[in-house]
Amino acid sequence: MTRVNKVNPLDFPLQGTRLIEASAGTGKTYTIAALYVRLILGTTEDASEPLRDLLPPDILVVTFTDAATKELRERIRARLTQAAAFFRQQSTDCDEFLTALRTRYAPVLWPACARRLELAAN
């Protein structure tokens, strides 16, 4: 029998290879975009440590069709842009994930986080 685990994008392990498999409408794209934001910001669990250099060419996200790939790319880019604006305090357009994620970083690091997110979105 397959074991089912609910994925929390804030504490999901970022090391190694991971498979996210779920039915339609369960939040896979949301979760993948959230994990992507975390990867861009650094893979360390201790946000006081320096950010590791990890950019889009270092991250592999796979889906099944060209249309799904295009949609996923657009949704990830939009999420990166939204997160960058939130870290710059230029937007209140956020959710629980972004709010909790930003609290893991000292406010002095927020501009650097925003810059990394913007670079990744571009």
Neighbours of 56 (CB within 10 A): 18
CATH number reported for the structural domain that contains residue 109 in this entry: 3.40.50.300
Q: Please report, to the nearest 10 degrees, the dihedral formed by the alpha carbons of residues 72, 73, 74, 78 taken in order.
A: 100
The total number of residues shown for the chain amounts to 122
58 contacts: CB under 8 Å, gap ≥ 6: none
Flag whether 37 is in a domain: yes
Residues of the chain with pLDDT > 90: what percent?
53
pLDDT value at 23 more than 90: no
Total-model pTM: 0.85
pLDDT of residue 106: 93
Mean pLDDT of 9-19: 82
pLDDT value at 58 more than 90: no
Do 34 and 14 contact (CB within 8 A), yes or no? no
Q: How many domains does the chain have?
A: 1
Residue 96, domain extent: 28-121
pLDDT in tens, 76-98: 999 999 999 999 999 888 899 99
